[in-house]
Amino acid sequence: MKVAELLENIREGKLAPVYLILGKEEYNAQRISAAFIDAMPEEQRTVNIGQYDMESVSLSDAIGDALAAPFFGDRRIVYIKHPFFLQGSSKKVKLEQNTDELLKYLEHPEPTTVLVIFAPYDKLDERKKIVKKLLKTAVVVKNSFLDEKSTKDYLKALLRDKEYIIEPQALNLLVKKTEASLSLAMNELPKLMLLAHEERKITEVMVEEMVSQTLEQNIFDLGDLVLAKKTKQAIEMYRELVLQHEEPLKINAILLGQIRLLLQVNILQKHGYAQGNIASSLKVHPYRVKLAMRKSRSLNRLDLRSAYLGLVDLEEKMKSTQQDPVALFELFMLGYFEKSRGNVKL
C-alpha cells in the first residue's frame, strides 16, 4: 500500500489491526502518525495512545498496552518505533527484545487496537520468523523516499492549497539545497512562507538567502574540487570547514562516502544500469544517484579509485597520528594529483 492510500483509508475510518510502515521518509511517517491520532476524538487521546521506542523500552510493555481495552473510547493506538529486531544487522543494542510476545499477538490481534510499527529501514531480514509473520499479518505501507519530480509536485500542491506560489527557479534551488528530501524541504517551508506572506510568492532570492547548505552539500562541493584536481581551492575549503569546527574525521567520512557512490555509479552505468535500478541496488536516494550519474560520466574510474584509496589512507593517519588534519589533507591532495596524472580514462 502507498502512503496516500493509507491516509485516505484513515480519513474514511477504514482501519486494520496491524500496520507496518516500511521506509525512511521521515515527513510521511509523521503525517501517518498524525493521521491516526486525528482519527481519534481529542478527549480520548491522552489515555488511549501509547508510543514505544524499542531502543529504550521493552517490547513486552508495548504488547501489554496493545492488549489493554480502550479507556472510555472505542479504540487504542499503539506505536512501535525503531524495531531493530526486524533487521539482520548484528549492531549492538542497549536493550535485547524477546519477539515471542509479538508473534503471539499477531496470531490474534486485539480488535480494538491499531498497532502501528514504524520500521525506518531499507529492508527487513525475511529469514526471521517474526518478519515472515509480520509481512503476512500486517498491512505493509511503503514509505520510500520520493523521487525529485514527486517531491516537487508535493511541494507545489501544498503551497497551492495554502494560496502560495513558488517560482520554478526557486523550487529547483530548494530541491537542490535539500537534496530532494521531502523532510528537509518541509522543514524549510515555514520560514519561506513567512517571508513571502504579503505577496504569497516564494522567489529564488528568498530560497538563496533563507535556506542554508547542509554539511553534506558543502563537502559535495569539496569533492568536486578534489576530483577536478583544484588543489589550492580544495585545501582552502577544507581549512574553512575545520575553522567552522567541523570534525575532520566526519568530513573525511562524508567525502569518502561521496567518492564511493561515484565509483559505484560509474561501474554500474558501464554495466547498463538505469537510474532507478542503481538507486534500488545501492539503497540510495534517487536524487543523489541522479547527480552522481551526471557527474560520473565525465570522470575517470582510475581517478575515483585513487581518490577513494587516498581518503582511506587519510582516515587511518588521522586516527593513528597527532598530525594536523589540514596538513594531512594537503598531503592527500598532492599525492592524489601526482597519481592521477598517469591515469588513463576507463
Residues 80, 62 contacting (CB under 8 angstroms): yes
Range name among 63-77, 275-289, 304-318 with the lowest pLDDT average: 275-289
Indicate whether 313 belongs to any domain. Answer: yes
* Assigned C-alpha cell, 44: 480520548
Q: Are residues 138 and 153 in the same domain?
A: no
Helix, strand, coil percent content, the chain, rounded in steps of 5: 60, 10, 30
Q: How far apart, in Å, are the Cα atoms of 168 and each of 76, 153, 155, 162?
A: 44, 11, 12, 17
Quick: pLDDT tens for 200-241: 999 999 999 999 888 888 999 999 999 999 999 999 999 999
Q: Are residues 205 and 219 in the same domain?
A: no
Rounded Cα gap, residues 296 and 183, in angstroms: 27
Q: How many domains does the chain have?
A: 3
Looking up residue 155, the CATH number of its domain turns out to be 1.10.8
Domain end, chosen from 190, 210, 230, is at 210
Looking up residue 293, the CATH number of its domain turns out to be 1.20.272.10
Q: Are residues 119 and 152 in the same domain?
A: no
Q: Are residues 119 and 182 in the same domain?
A: no
Q: Are residues 111 and 93 in the same domain?
A: yes
343 confidence band (pLDDT: 50, 70, 90): low
Q: Are residues 333 and 319 in the same domain?
A: yes
* 33 pLDDT above the threshold of 90: yes
Q: Are residues 224 and 321 in the same domain?
A: yes
Which range is most confident: 38-47, 83-92, 93-102? 38-47
Q: Are residues 203 and 229 in the same domain?
A: no
Q: Are residues 133 and 116 in the same domain?
A: yes
The rounded mean pLDDT for the chain is 92
Indicate whether 345 belongs to any domain. Answer: no
Residues 51, 41 contacting (CB under 8 angstroms): no
Domain end, chosen from 116, 142, 168, is at 142
Phi, psi at 2, each rounded to 5°: -90, 160
185 confidence band (pLDDT: 50, 70, 90): very high
283 confidence band (pLDDT: 50, 70, 90): confident
Looking up residue 39, the CATH number of its domain turns out to be 3.40.50.300
Q: Are residues 81 and 171 in the same domain?
A: no
Cα 134 → chain centroid: 23
Helix, strand, or coil (residue 266): helix
Indicate whether 126 belongs to any domain. Answer: yes
Helix, strand, or coil (residue 107): helix
Helix, strand, or coil (residue 335): helix
Which stretch of DSSP H or E encloses residue 218?
Answer: helix 215-227
Indicate whether 346 belongs to any domain. Answer: no
Domain end, chosen from 142, 169, 201, is at 142
* Assigned C-alpha cell, 49: 495512545
Range of the domain at 100: 3-142
90 confidence band (pLDDT: 50, 70, 90): low
Residues 49, 76 contacting (CB under 8 angstroms): yes
Which stretch of DSSP H or E encloses residue 4?
Answer: helix 3-11
- Beta carbons within 8 Å of 157's beta carbon, 6+ residues apart: none
Q: Are residues 15 and 103 in the same domain?
A: yes
Rounded Cα gap, residues 257 and 201, in angstroms: 37
Q: Are residues 125 and 152 in the same domain?
A: no
Indicate whether 119 belongs to any domain. Answer: yes
Whole-prediction pTM value?
0.78
Indicate whether 294 belongs to any domain. Answer: yes
Give the pairing of strands 113-119 and 139-142. Answer: unpaired
Burial (CB count <10 Å: 0-12, 13-18, 19+), residue 327: exposed
Signed CA dihedral, 174, 180, 184, 190: sign only? positive
What is the predicted pLDDT for the residue at 213?
Answer: 83
Neighbours of 268 (CB within 10 A): 20
